[in-house]
Amino acid sequence: MEKKVTVRKDLCVGCGLCTGISNVLIIGDDGLAEATTELLEESQVAEVEEAANACPVSAIEVE
């Protein structure tokens, strides 16, 4: 089952916590988190879900 990651820029505060958990997430030129890919490989799902759960403003969605 494919999963997709989305970063809600309207919620992100650019703290960078997610980037320390998953290399799929980076801080972009705008100072906010962004995903390096939209569709996750199976091996990436757990770490991105961990990053989403750790996000203090719930800006990362995994569906």
- Domain around 56: 3-62
pTM reported for the whole predicted model: 0.94
Q: What is the pLDDT of residue 1?
A: 76
Rounded CA-CA distance 11/2 in Å is 24
Query: How many structural domains compose the chain?
Result: 1
Rounded CA-CA distance 18/61 in Å is 12
pLDDT of 9 > 90? The answer is yes
The enclosing domain of 7 has a CATH number of 3.30.70.20
Q: What is the pLDDT of residue 25?
A: 99
Widest Cα–Cα separation across the chain:
32
Q: What is the pLDDT of residue 48?
A: 98
Q: What is the pLDDT of residues 17-54, one digit of tens each?
A: 999 999 999 999 999 999 999 999 999 999 999 999 99
